Amino acid sequence: MNATMGAHRADRATQVAGSMALAAEVRAKCFALVGDAVDVLVSCHAAHKGYLSGYFSIVHDLNPRYLSAVVATRDRVALVVSASDAGPALEETGDPAALFRYGFFCFEQVDGTGADGYDAAGFASFDEALLAALREVAGDARTIGIDRSGDDRAWNVIAQGMKTRFLTDITDAITRARRHKLPGEVARVRQATRLVETGLLDVARQFAPGMTEQDMAAIIAAGMVAGGAIPRFVSVTSGPRSALADAYATARRVAPGDLIRIDAGCIYQGYASDMARTFVFGEPDAEQVRCYAAIRAGIDYELEVIREGVDVAGLFDETVRVVRENGIPSYRRQHVGHGIGLGGGYDMPVLTPQTKDRLEAGMCLCVETPYYRIGWGGMMIEDTILVTREGHEPITTIPRDLIRLG
């Protein structure tokens, strides 16, 4: 083995160990929320399977309807996976006994080595594999907590196959667990954010006249992959297209005077980033300056007042008011931020006028004050923070200024 390969394996082993350790902390957090009466946790939800086990499957990205599950007690965890997913899952867990595979897939061996634990016999169906995992891991456990976030497949299979057990819905407990981030979770959100920030700074450094939206998106996406992340979305829109809130980059060439709105995020070891900045090609005109000052005032206010105990609906109302009073009297929004954590969607809370909630220390939030005007353009500032008792800890670090290109 050469030095480069050895270093890669060492780095990979460290990453896997970190993921497994964090998953153990997450399981402890979830068991604390469900209480002593629940003996085992079961989830088929794509993100929650990774949340509880540390293994995030690419097969879920390829097929959202892919059937798999995590089965966890306080001291053991098992994965129910397809035969094709067993290879990557084994690489991550390192424990063939923790995998309950179903279906058929072929892994060949070279010189009789290299496929130990990969090319093993599986169960005929997901249902059989799930029940086998429960019997092995849970033993005589009486109460099975089932996460019903995705669908009721696990609930129905277990209700029919293990009729002497008591089933309880733990969906709300999993949702509550996601609201408050452990230090390891914050570190992953921070690194995912850092990779987006690096991409935005690379765009500013590498920009040249004639560049397209796709050229700029490619710079950002390449940095994500090079940093060990998976691009989640890279929305680069320019000129009038910058008013399109969630649009893919196109071959449109950026023209002098254009606003360029970049909203991007990636997944790093299962955890997401989501941040945005606005650029302008050349000097901004008076209208661009006025509108940007208004949304900047709004997010600055939001960041100033956020702390534990702040009423979400009141925060929304006051943030919108500040934007209106500082240059956009017609400003409207459906929300001014949302929770961030696991990839695949928002964490709670979403900062809307209807949300009956207060901020709590340990929440990771994306705060934002976008503005979209069809036919003119759009602009956006979005930062990620960790709520604390006295205020917040920034996760996004680059300035919130309108960035001039060219």
Mean predicted lDDT score pLDDT of the chain = 93
The CA distance from 340 to 192, in Å, is 11
Write down which residue in 138, 158, 178 finishes a domain: 178
Q: 215 and 275: one domain?
A: yes
Q: 254 and 388: one domain?
A: yes
CATH number of the domain at 258, please.
3.90.230.10
Residue numbers of the domain that contains 19: 1-178
The yes-or-no verdict on residue 122 having pLDDT over 90 is no
Domain total for the chain?
Answer: 2
Q: 90 and 126: one domain?
A: yes
205-232 pLDDT, tens digit each? 999 999 999 999 999 999 999 999 999 9
User: Which of 17, 69, 25 minimizes the C-alpha distance to 48?
Assistant: 69
Backbone angles phi, psi at 346, to 5 degrees: -75, 150
CATH number of the domain at 29, please.
3.40.350.10
Q: 249 and 145: one domain?
A: no
Give the pairing type, strands 271-272 and 259-268: antiparallel
Kindly calculate the radius of gyration of the chain based on its CA atoms and give it in whole angstroms: 24
- Mean pLDDT confidence for 16-24: 89
Which residues on adjacent β-strands are paired with residue 264? 234, 275
Q: 193 and 109: one domain?
A: no
Question: pLDDT at position 114, please?
Answer: 54
350-401 pLDDT, tens digit each? 999 999 999 999 999 999 999 999 999 999 999 999 999 999 999 999 999 9
Q: Which two tokens stand for residue 328?
A: 């956009």
pTM of the entire structure? 0.93
The CA distance from 368 to 352, in Å, is 12
The yes-or-no verdict on residue 235 having pLDDT over 80 is yes
Write down which residue in 129, 161, 178 finishes a domain: 178
Q: Which two tokens stand for residue 131?
A: 């029940």
The residue assigned the tokens 């809130």 is 245
Question: pLDDT at position 164, please?
Answer: 79
Question: pLDDT at position 25, please?
Answer: 97
Q: 221 and 247: one domain?
A: yes
CA 181 to chain centre: 12
Q: 146 and 201: one domain?
A: no
Residue 312, C-beta contacts closer than 8 angstroms, at least 6 positions apart: 349, 351, 352, 355, 356, 357, 358, 359
Write down which residue in 156, 178, 200 finishes a domain: 178
Which residues on adjacent β-strands are paired with residue 379? 371
The yes-or-no verdict on residue 68 having pLDDT over 90 is yes
Q: 134 and 268: one domain?
A: no
